[in-house]
Amino acid sequence: MKLVTLLISLCLVLALAVVLGAYQSQQPKSENKASLREPDREAAMRNTLVGLLAGSGVHVGTSLPMDGGHSYRELHVRWQNLEGSATDNLQKEAFAGNITRLSSAVKQGALPRLRTLDLSPDQMLAIAVDDKQNLRWWILMNDPRLVRAEIPTSSGEMTRTDFYQAKVEFFVPYPDDPAIREILLYHPQWTGKNFQIELLGRLAVE
């Protein structure tokens, strides 16, 4: 009986050791998978930016720039359709208009780390470059002109309608980096096969 009890105890100890060993062996693999996701994600974003900015004169480095500062700048911008009516601020069609810099201020805090580049026609892509047109920063923002409304049809059903403000002011955040000389604003456009970007304006920074 003692021999049987001893054998059962030994089997339980061995089984527990096998389970613990399997668990520990899986831990480094999980960490490795997690560590591989970030470089792959960055490479995908870089490749997308290279394709979008091809022919624009903007140079994308071998790795994407990262901001680790404790302060950033905020560019105050006005976007106005000069051909629109002075009394009607909402228009049915998107417009290029005139983009002007109003001011720039330093803010305390850190800019969010950019982990994805999921383009949409409802967005605006801001690109920060130095005096040699090297990419120093980029950010996707909601199109500040866009206003959505629910309007009833003749049958009483509500349908979504997009309007564009003929005059709007907004802010573009960018790193507090003295090398940055210009902010380029682009509008993503879907061709049916891929995204292309249309240059909306260029803004010099201090």
Going residue by residue through the chain, which has 206 residues, state the pLDDT in tens, using 9 for 90 and above. Answer: 554 454 445 544 455 444 445 434 443 333 343 444 667 888 899 999 999 999 999 999 988 888 778 899 999 999 988 765 545 678 877 777 899 999 999 999 989 878 888 999 999 999 999 999 999 999 999 999 988 877 777 777 777 788 888 889 999 999 999 999 999 999 999 999 999 999 999 999 97
CA gap 195, 188 in Å, rounded:
6
Rg (CA), the chain: 27
At residue 93, the pLDDT reads: 77
Query: CB of 123 within 8 A of CB of 188?
Result: yes
Query: CB of 135 within 8 A of CB of 65?
Result: yes
At residue 108, the pLDDT reads: 93
**Amino acid symbol at 26:** Q
At residue 6, the pLDDT reads: 46
At residue 5, the pLDDT reads: 53
Q: If DSSP codes are grouped into helix, strand and coil, which group holds residue 20?
A: helix
At residue 1, the pLDDT reads: 53
Q: If DSSP codes are grouped into helix, strand and coil, which group holds residue 189?
A: strand
Question: pTM of the predicted model, to two decimals?
Answer: 0.74
Sign of CA dihedral 117, 123, 129, 134: positive
